[in-house]
């Protein structure tokens, strides 16, 4: 797991906790902060996926260009 995926997972977990705490206490601001943090986590996860895809493409290009 790379840094982007780890950050996304952590943001999602903390966001869910904030959202649940806000919902349980009636604190709408905390609930919304949690939802926003979950969205940030999803963005980091997508960024991590994009980096993984780019690495895969680079690896395939290297494999095909290294052949004599």
pLDDT at position 67 is 62
Q: Number of structural domains, the chain?
A: 1
**pLDDT over threshold 70, residue 68:** no
In angstroms, the CA 9 to CA 1 distance is 10
In angstroms, the CA 62 to CA 42 distance is 30
Residue 5 tokens read as 């995926």
Instruction: Using a cut of 0.95, tell me whether the model's pTM lies above it.
Output: no
Looking at per-residue confidence, does 64 or 13 come out higher?
Answer: 13
Tell me which residue range forms the domain holding 14: 3-65
pLDDT in tens, 4-45: 999 999 999 999 999 999 999 999 999 999 999 999 999 999
Contacts of 15 (CB under 8 A, 6+ apart): 33, 34, 35, 36, 37, 38, 39, 40, 41
pLDDT at position 44 is 96
């Amino acid at each position: 797991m790379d840094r982007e995926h780890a950050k996304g997972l952590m943001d999602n977990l903390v966001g869910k906790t904030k959202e649940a705490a806000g919902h349980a206490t009636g604190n709408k601001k905390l609930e919304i902060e949690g939802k926003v943090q979950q969205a940030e986590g999803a963005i980091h996860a997508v960024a991590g996926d994009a980096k993984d895809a780019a690495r895969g493409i680079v690896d395939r290009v290297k494999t095909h260009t290294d052949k004599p």
